[in-house]
Structure 1
């Protein structure tokens, strides 16, 4: 999962105005970084210009996803990520950034502002912090922990089978299963493979 860009723009009547942006182009070749960054600015501007106010959208561009949120007042945020990055976390980040930006930068400065004139320094910090969505989003963190638990349980069952024990032997030796349950297991085992352990 990778975040490449967070940008804040103002959607004017005819075009989008870039106010501030942060980039992580370290995964690209050194000589391509400037071009990639320019392409991100261009893509963000086009998406904001062609998206209605009060809208959230995700746009696919090659192997990247561009998440955009444009508030009713014209303030817009764009996050560019890979396909693995959770959409919900991207929009949570956009909400947080736009709320904070609108409290720190006056809206009269949005139409004429530029990255050089707008005084908002938090984007680089957000870009670094949100690179790992599991650390910033509680729901994603819980899901990751559940996935790890599944792996641990799967490995435990595999280790039982590696010691030479077979499920058939365990079923036949079990005192906790009735004769009817044991018969059902044997019948199901013969008719299909639904009772095999993976």
Structure 2
């Protein structure tokens, strides 16, 4: 008879999904309350950046992302989502002072599209391509400089060879001039 070991239970994480959601909701409400109408701001909270956009009509949105996510892309996403939301949902249905409990169907599509800022934002894509081109150009310039140094070495060696061959020619001519052919 063999004995089996009991299955290991996963360790509890410091945050459950509910506490993360509560953190995001509380932080978002606080930032929106403290932001002026018609303003955009980025607030650092722990290791995250909270990007908030409050429109003049008091409709607000918050994107919580890591510090590497480009701010410009986050604000583009907020502007697009808030514009579409305001067109699809009557202002009378907007909840006041609390997060929207309205199911906004286009949000999931925007969030999945904006997971990769390079693909979602043309400016970020162009910037990434420029960065790649800059690296390639830098490497090419280094190669050219190395080749230029090698060419300089070849030129100086050929000059030395030319000088040596002239000296050899003169020496050979002197030695051959003493002898006469009959």
TM-score bracket for the superposition, by shorter chain length: 0.5 to 0.7
Match of 2:172 in 1: none
Change beyond 3 A, Cα 1:54–1:38? same
Of residues 107, 119, 122, the one that matches 1:135 is 119
3-state SS of paired residue (1:131): coil
Unpaired runs of at least 5, structure 1: 1-28, 175-198
1:101-123 Cα shifts (integer Å, max 9, x gaps): 0011111111368654x242111
Shift, 1:76, TM fit = 0.2
1:80-110 Cα shifts (integer Å, max 9, x gaps): 1111111111111111000000011111111
Match of 2:161 in 1: none
Match of 1:147 in 2: 131
More helix by share: 2
1:144-183 Cα shifts (integer Å, max 9, x gaps): 111112333344566679xxx6642224557xxxxxxxxx
Aligned partners of 1:81 and 1:124: how far apart in 2? 16
Q: Give me the TM-score of the superposition, normalised by structure 2.
A: 0.68
User: Residues 63 and 78 of structure 2 are in contact (CA less than 8 Å); yes or no, is this contact kept in structure 1?
Assistant: yes
Aligned partners of 1:156 and 1:138: how far apart in 2? 27
Aligned partners of 1:148 and 1:40: how far apart in 2? 35
More strand by share: 1
- The alignment of Structure 1 onto Structure 2 pairs a total of residues equal to 142
Match of 2:41 in 1: 57
Aligned partners of 2:131 and 2:107: how far apart in 1? 31
3-state SS of paired residue (2:16): helix
Q: Which runs of 4+ in 1 moved over 6 A?
A: 158-161
Aligned partners of 1:47 and 1:93: how far apart in 2? 18
Unpaired runs of at least 5, structure 2: 1-12, 156-182
Q: Give me the TM-score of the superposition, normalised by structure 1.
A: 0.63
Match of 1:193 in 2: none
Considering only aligned residues, what root-mean-square deviation do their CA atoms show, in Å? 2.6
1:125-160 Cα shifts (integer Å, max 9, x gaps): 111100111111111111111111233334456667
Of residues 69, 73, 86, the one that matches 1:102 is 86
